[in-house]
Amino acid sequence: MNALYDIIFAPFIEFGFMQRALGGALLLCLSACPVGVFLMLRRMSLAGDAMAHAILPGAAAGFLLYGLEIVPMTVGGLVAGVVVALGAAAVSRLTVLKEDASMAAFYLISLALGVLIVSLRGSPIDLMHVLFGTVLALNDEALGLIGGITAVTLAGLFVFWRALIAECLDPLFLRSVSKLGPPVHFVFLGLVVLNLVGGFQALGTLLSVGLMMLPAAAARFWTGQVISMCVVATLVGAASVISGLLLSFHLSLPSGPSIILSAGVVYLLSVLVGPRGLPSRRSRSLRHRAA
C-alpha cells in the first residue's frame, strides 16, 4: 500500500511543480479532448496537426521580441493560427482548391516562417522549448491562461453544440433553418487554435495536437454518441496525463512525449479491445442475430 502511495500519490502531493503540471494538463484535457472529438468527426484530424504548426511563427515572433514570456507568445500564436485558419478557409471557399490542400499550403509557409524567426535569435534549445514545451515548468500565468482557455472553450461548445452537430451531420439542412452554418465553422476553428495555443505551453506545438486527437480517436471505439465520446475522450486524456507525468517523474523521461505515448497506448488498446474496434468486426463475421 505504501509503495502504491509512493508511486502514484507522493509525487503530486509532495512536489509543487507536479501539482501545477497535473492541474494545467487536466484543464487542457477538459477542453482540448472534446474539441478533438469534433475535429475527428469533421474528418479534420490532420488539420489539427497542420494548425499546431501554423501557430509557430506567431509564438516565435513573441519569443523573439519578448523572450520566453507567455503572454506575447500566446497572443502571437493566436494571431498566426487565426490568419492561417481564415486564409485556408477563404481560399477553399473562393477557389477550386479544397480545404486540406489550402491548409497544407498555409501551414507550410507558416512553419517555415516560424523556424526562420526562431533561428534569428535563439539557439536550438529555444526552438526545442517552443516545439516541445515544458509542462513541468508551468507558472501561475500559464495556469491562468489555460484555465481561461478551458472556460472559453467549454462555453463555446455549450452554446454552439446543436449547430456543431448539425453542421457535421447535415450541413445543407442547417443552412436551411439558420444562418449559423458558415460562422459556426469559423467559431470552431477558433476554438481549435485557442486550444493548440493553450497546449503549446504545456506540451509544445507538436505534442499539443496529440492530446487533442489521440483521446478522441480512442473514444470513437467505445461509444456511438457524441456527448459520451467527449466524456470518454476527456477521461482518456486525463488518464494519459496522470500516467505520463508519473512515468516522466519516476523514469526521468520528458513529460510531453510521456503523456502522448500514454495516450497512444490507450488508443492502440482501444483499437484492439474497444466494442467498436477490431472485436466488433470478428464477432460480426461469426455470429448473427435471429432478427
Partner 1 sequence: MSQQSLAFRDLTLGYDRHPAVHHLSGTVPAGSLLAIVGANGSGKSTLLKGIVGVLKPMDGAILRPASMRLAYLPQQSELDRSFPARVFDLVSLGLWPRRGLLGRHKAEDRDRLEAALAAVGLKGFATRGIDTLSGGQLQRALFARVLLQDADLILLDEPFNAVDHKTVEDLVALIKQWHAEKRTVLVVAHDLELVRAHFPQTLLLARRLVNWGPTAQVLTPANLALALHFHEAWDDNAPWCAPGDTHDHARDDHAHEHHHHAHQHRGAA
By the criterion CB under 8 A, which residues form the site for partner 1?
A: 41, 159-160, 162-163, 165-166, 168-178, 180, 220, 223-226, 229
Cβ of residue 41: shortest distance to partner 1, in angstroms? 6
Q: Which is nearer to partner 1, 13 or 169 (CB)?
A: 169
Q: Which is nearer to partner 1, 205 or 270 (CB)?
A: 270
Q: Which alpha helices (DSSP H) does 170-204 contain, by range?
A: 171-177, 181-202
Cβ of residue 232: shortest distance to partner 1, in angstroms? 12
Q: Say which residue the cell 495556469 belongs to.
A: 143
Cβ of residue 210: shortest distance to partner 1, in angstroms? 22
Q: Which is nearer to partner 1, 33 or 59 (CB)?
A: 33
Cβ of residue 157: shortest distance to partner 1, in angstroms? 13
Phi, psi for 5 (deg, rounded to 5): -60, -45
The span from the CA of 207 to the CA of 277, in Å, is 25
Question: Quick one: DSSP state of residue 131?
Answer: H
Q: Which is nearer to partner 1, 95 or 252 (CB)?
A: 95
CA distances for 285 relative to 149, 175, 270, 274, 279, angstroms: 45, 40, 20, 17, 10
Q: Helices 70-94 and 45-54, interaxial angle, to 10°?
A: 130
CA 24 to mean position of chain CA atoms: 13
Q: Which is nearer to partner 1, 111 or 213 (CB)?
A: 213
Cβ of residue 178: shortest distance to partner 1, in angstroms? 7
Helix (H) or strand (E) segment spanning residue 33: helix 16-41
The span from the CA of 112 to the CA of 53, in Å, is 9
Residues 6+ apart with CB under 8 A from 133: 199, 200, 201, 202, 203, 204, 205, 207, 208, 256
Cβ of residue 174: shortest distance to partner 1, in angstroms? 8
The span from the CA of 197 to the CA of 11, in Å, is 27
As to burial, measured by CB atoms within 10 angstroms (0-12 exposed, 13-18 middle, 19+ buried), residue 137 is middle
Q: Which is nearer to partner 1, 168 or 239 (CB)?
A: 168
Cβ of residue 223: shortest distance to partner 1, in angstroms? 8
